[in-house]
Amino acid sequence: MEERGMGEETAVHATIRGIVQGVGFRFFVQRQARGLGIRGWVRNLPDGSVEVWAEGKRNRLLALLQVLRQGPPHARVDGIDTVWREPVGETTFRVRF
């Protein structure tokens, strides 16, 4: 039985801290998100962190966040800050520059 609210469309705004730039993290996020059917974007921030906006079913977003805690080889994730939001209607998942 699906947990209440787990299949509802929602969005999450996440900031990933650690060694997450220069290690292919953005393209890792894009590949994982597209595989889960998630829409949104990912970009590097000037402070060395990575920002993710993701929209989709809550259970898929939770799966993405779990994968992001590991990251790609050579990355080290020290923490992820998340805020749940209302989706804005993204149609694909892309890397922003």
Catalytic residue among 17, 31, 43, 44, which?
44
Catalytic-residue membership of 96: no
Question: Can 34 be counted among the known catalytic residues?
Answer: no
In this structure, are strands 50-57 and 39-44 parallel, antiparallel, or unpaired? antiparallel
CA dist., res. 42 & res. 51, Å (int): 6
Handedness of CA 7, 25, 75, 78 (dihedral sign): negative
Q: Rounded distance, CA 63 to CA 33, Å? A: 9
Residue showing tokens 């292919």: 24
Tokens 């977003």 -> residue: 61
Spot the catalytic one: 26, 39, 58, 60.
26
Please list the active-site residues. Answer: 26, 44
